Structures are given as C-alpha cells and as structure tokens.
Amino acid sequence: MYSNEPHIETNGLNAYYGNIQALKNISIVIPRKQITMIIGPSGCGKTSLLKCLNRFFELSPNTSVTGEVLTDGENIYNPSIDITEIRKKAGLLAQRPYPLPMSIYDNVAYGIRIHHTRPRREMDHWVQHYLEIAGLWEEVKDRLHSPANNLSIGQQQRLCLARGLAVEPEIILGDEPTSALDPISAQNIESRLLDLKSQYTIILVTHILRQARRLADYVIFMYLGEVIEAGLAEQVFNHPQHERTQAYLSGVF
Amino acid sequence: MKTKWKPRHIEETIMKILMIFSFSLIIGSLGWILFTILIKGLPSLSWAMLTQTPKGGYYLGKEGGILNAIVGSLYLAAGGTILAVLIAFPTALFLSVYVNKKRWAVIVRLSLDILWGIPSIVYGAFGFLLMLAMGLRASLLGGIITLAFLEFPIMTRAMDEIIQRIPPDLPLAAYALGSTHFETALHVITRQVIPGLLTAVLLAFGRAIGDAASVLFTAGYTDHIPTSLSQPVASLPLAVFFQLATPYPEVQNRAYASALILTILVLGVSILSRWISYHLDRYSIR
Ligand SMILES: Nc1ncnc2c1ncn2[C@@H]1O[C@H](COP(=O)(O)OP(=O)(O)OP(=O)(O)O)[C@@H](O)[C@H]1O
Ligand SMILES: [Mg+2]
C-alpha cells in the first residue's frame, strides 16, 4: 500500500489511563520521510497515540500500555531500551511552545550539549544552522542571549522546532503545533514542516481538515480510540471507504 | 467635555488619594530614618570604627571601633542562614513535591506562617531555655541556632512557594529532548528556581542580621572577635542599643554610625537580591 519503507509500525497497541482505554488495538504503519497526519474528533485518542510513539504517554499518572511500537524494527517498549534515546530519535513539538528557562542561544544549544551531537567549539555555527532551518535566525540574530520567554508565541514555537532539530532526531511528532499560533505564524510553521519532509519522518495531529489536506501524504483517521481508516491522503480524502470517515470529512460531526 | 461625578469615579478618586497617602507615608518614614542616621552617624563614622575592636574606655568616648559587632553580626547571620538552609530546603522540597496538596501540608504551612509571625524576643527566650537545658552559655553557637529557628519559617515558606510555581510542562519540555531526570533537574529546574531560592535565602539573612532580640540572651556580647563557636559574640543591633544607652553624646552618635553600617549591610543584601532577580530571573518561565 505504501511506496516508502515503514519507519514506525505499531502492533496491537492498547493504552489506558487507569481504567479508561484511550487506544484500542492500534496497528498502523508510518512511512519514512513523509508527512503522516492523524485526524479525528476531539477525545478520540490522537494525542495519546502520538505520546505512545516517544514514550511520553507513561509520564501521566496511572497509565499502562500493551502491544508494541517498532521504530526502525526495534520495539521501543522493550524494557532494556534507553528511553532518552527514544525521545532523542522522535522529537516532540507540543501544542503550546514551552521554552526552557534560558537564553535563545542556550535553548538551541541545550540538546547539543546533553547529547554531545556536535563539537563544543562549533556551537555558534550549529545554533545558527538550526535557527535558520526553523526560519527564526533573521529575527533573533541580534538578541541571541536575551531570554527565550520574551519571544512572541509564534517565534517561541519556531524556537522549539529549532531546539528539537538540534537534537538530531529522525522523527518529528507534532501535537497540533500551530493551534496556539496566529494564521501567519501557523503558515510559517507549515512551510517549515514541508521543507523538512525530505529529511525527517513527520507525524502531525491536527483538528484542521484544510491543514491536513495541505500537508498530508498519509492520513490516519481515528474514532473513539480506534483507527478507522488509514492510507494515502488523496485516497482517504477523495474516496473514503468507511462511512464514519465520510461523515467526519463532510463535517457531520 | 464635562466629567460626570458618578459614584465609581468618586470611588476611584478616593482610592487614588489613599494610595498616594500611603506611598508618601512609606517613602517619608524611610527617608526620615535614613536622614537621621546619616546626619547623626556620618560625622562619627571613621575608618577606625570599621577596623578596630573597642579599646579601653570606648564606651566613655575614647578610641576604638565596632569591628567586633560587624564581624559578629556577619558570623551570626551567615551561620544561622547556612543552618536554616540545611533544614529549610529539604522541608520545602518535601512540602511542595511529596505532600503538596494533602491535609498534612496544609497544617505544616499554617504552622510555618504562625512561626513567621512570632516576635523574635520569643525566639530569644526559647533559644535561651534550650541552651539552659543543654548546659550551653551565651555563645556564637547559641546565637546561630536561635537565628536558624528565626529564619527557618521565612525561608521554608518562600522556597515552598517558588518550587510550587514550577510549571508542570517545563520538565516535559526537557524530557521531550531526551534529557534524563538528573539533567532535567540540574539544567532546567535549577535554572528556573535558583533565582527565587537565592532571594529566599537573602530575605532570611536580612531578617537575621538586623535582629536584636533573639541574640540578646543567646549570643551575649563581647569586645573581642570570637575564635570559637563556644565564645560569646557581639552583634550590630546590640552595639547600637548599648551605645545609645550610654549618657555620652559622642558615644550616642557612634550608635547612629553603627546603625548606618547595619543599614548599609541590609541595603546591600536587598540590592543584591534585586540584582539577582533582575539578571537571573528574567530567564525563568512564568
Ligand atoms: N490524563 C488523563 N487521564 C484520564 N483520561 C485521559 C487523560 N488524558 C486523556 N484522557 C482521555 O483519553 C481519551 C483520549 O484523549 P486524547 O487526549 O488522546 O484525545 P485527543 O484526540 O488528543 O483529543 P483532542 O483533539 O481534544 O486533543 C479521552 O477520552 C480523554 O478523556
Ligand atoms: Mg489532543
């Protein structure tokens, strides 16, 4: 079905908040270096699914997960695995940007420092590099050492993108990364993500169908914790197979 | 256009007048105090006062200085602050991280607030009784312990508030970048709370260095700089008190000079904590 080789696969993934089952037997394939978008009504488990892909789900209290998530063929729920490596590989762009309590420069340098991904003496170069990729460099190059929380929300979200990229992930997870932004900033992030597609596997959650149509190569439609339909974007959007998908896409709910 | 005098406009004006009144009252009294100690103290302030201990006849107007009290106050306040940090920081962590919203925590916080409000003479008397029971005499150690008691509630509550105000999403942002718990605590949480914690420590230090009543019975007074914890020690507030209590005008003026030194020390501490919050706190996430 997919032209690109799979990057992530889930097999019979179930996720629970206490007794509430948020994900029911999810088995999906996410192709490499493409944009996969998860859509579905509020509360259907989009965020939960995304969080299972970088082991963020277990940070909420009383949660449990069964089944497997294979990233590059390796089960990330294997008890012997290093969680920090999983999270390094799959960077998360949250709904609301959360800068670290330090300067703009240090926010980007943070990931490089903790993972030693680049030599220390080349730090200036790499900080500039990632800020450029995130499309923020021109706006902040004269105030790299001022606090990151003085930036506008849209700028903060691009800073979070730069910060996440500096860790050298292979996968970018975005949970409605543009929903707190104004239309111009949102468009800015969208075009960044399109640029990044050639190098990263990108998985985005969105509420906005038009955004999904603009960005998606592949679409996963969820409903009440289940994946109802998944496939090529044009396939799902133009010829939905399941009636729930048809109803959702035509705006019935 | 004519302003209509609706009740809410009158309300607004009354509030404004009240605010201006209280503002002037505060600035006025601060100015008055500073003016008095400057006028009376500055002429008596000499290099000798800062660098010498009292010589024979100092309290009759002969030569010497109050180095004993300056050093003594710094020893007492620093010792008390260090001891208080050692107890307050773990208590604050326990309160805000482990028992944050439980009934226990409410009771502990209420007790700390009450302790905060207790006059320092009560701490002095309590410390004194404690020392009697332990067979200690008025000494540097006694003063340090009593001041630590005095500082403990201030510091714990201030730190507790700071730690409680860490945004819950902040550690998540660090975990998302693949940080370990330790890296998150060391590089992110610490960066967020250190300015506030330092301010809490300086606040308590400022209260301790200016306090007379709690060291009155517990630290004693002496003309020498102590060389061990078991020796009595002088302090600036008591130096002011004793000199002011003499009948000699020269000595009384030296009391104002001592008060000036104390005020400058306290002012220095407040300016330092302002500086910290300006230069470090601006990075904190609110
Ligand atoms: N911390 C939690 N504790 C208990 N239940 C939760 C928690 N977070 C989410 N849930 C429940 O799990 C289900 C899936 O939630 P999730 O946040 O994944 O949905 P979502 O598709 O992201 O919704 P939205 O579009 O509104 O963000 C919902 O029924 C929700 O009520
Ligand atoms: Mg969500």
Question: pLDDT tens across A4-30, in order?
Answer: 789 999 999 999 999 999 999 999 999
- B10-22 residue pLDDT tens: 888 999 999 999 9
Q: Give the residue numbers spanning the domain of B14.
A: 7-44
Q: Is A94 on the interface with B (CB under 8 A)?
A: yes
Q: Determine, yes or no, domain membership for B78.
A: yes
A244: which residues sit within 8 A by CB, 6+ positions away?
A: A221, A223, A228, A229
Q: Which pLDDT tens digit goes with each residue over B50-95? A: 898 888 888 888 888 899 999 999 999 999 999 999 999 999 988 8
Same domain as B222, residue B189: yes
What is the distance between the alpha carbons of residues A247 and A228, in angstroms, rounded to a whole number?
12
Q: Which domain CATH number covers A42? A: 3.40.50.300
Q: Is the residue at B155 inside a domain?
A: yes
Distance CA A156, CA B274 (A): 27
CA distance B18 to B32: 21
Q: Which tens digit of pLDDT belongs to each residue from B93-131?
A: 888 877 777 788 899 999 999 999 999 999 999 999 998
Q: Which of A85, A101, A167 sits opposite B188 (nearest CB)?
A: A101
Q: Identify whether residues B40 and B54 lie together within a single domain.
A: no
A1 found inside a domain: no
Q: Is residue B70 part of a domain?
A: yes
- Residues B16 and B94 grouped into a single domain: no
Give the pLDDT band of residue A252 (cuts 50, 70, 90). Answer: low
What digits encode the pLDDT tens for the residues A119-172? Answer: 999 999 999 999 999 889 999 999 999 999 999 999 999 999 999 999 999 999
Mutate to test the interface with B, among A85, A98, A107, A165 (most CBs of B within 10 A): A98
**B102 by DSSP, 3-state: which?**
coil
- At residue B55, the pLDDT reads 86
Chain A residues lying within 8 Å of B175, measured CB to CB = 56, 59, 87
Judge whether B2 lies within some domain.
no
Same domain, B39 and B54: no
Binding site membership of A62 for ligand 1 (Cβ less than 6 Å): no
- Cα distance between residue B147 and residue B206, in whole Å: 11
What is this structure's pTM? 0.80
Q: Residues with Cβ < 8 Å from A23, sequence gap 6 or more?
A: A13, A14, A15, A45, A48, A49, A52, A225
User: Could you give the CA distance from residue B16 to residue B248 in angstroms, rounded to a whole number?
Assistant: 47
pLDDT of residue A221: 95
Query: With a 6 A CB cut-off, is A45 part of the ligand 1 pocket?
Result: yes
pLDDT for res A77 = 95
Domain membership of residue B34 (yes or no) is yes
Domain that holds residue A72: 6-97+171-249
Phi and psi at residue A120, to the nearest 5°: -55, -40
CA of A2: how far to CAs of A46, A169, A218, A227, B54, in Å?
21, 23, 9, 17, 91
Q: What is the pLDDT of residue B264?
A: 93
Residue with more model confidence, A75 or A188: A75
CATH number at residue B205: 1.10.3720.10
Instruction: Report the number of distinct structural domains present in chain B.
Output: 2
Q: Are B178 and A92 a contacting pair at CB < 8 A?
A: no
Domain membership of residue B222 (yes or no) is yes
Ligand 1 atom nearest to CA at A95 = 27
Find the DSSP H helices in B94-119: 103-117
Domain assignment present for residue A32? The answer is yes
What is the pLDDT at residue B97?
A: 78
Same domain, B29 and B58: no
pLDDT at residue number B58: 84
- Shared domain for B27 and B128, answered yes or no, is no
The structural domain count of chain A equals 1
d(CA A10, CA A227): 12
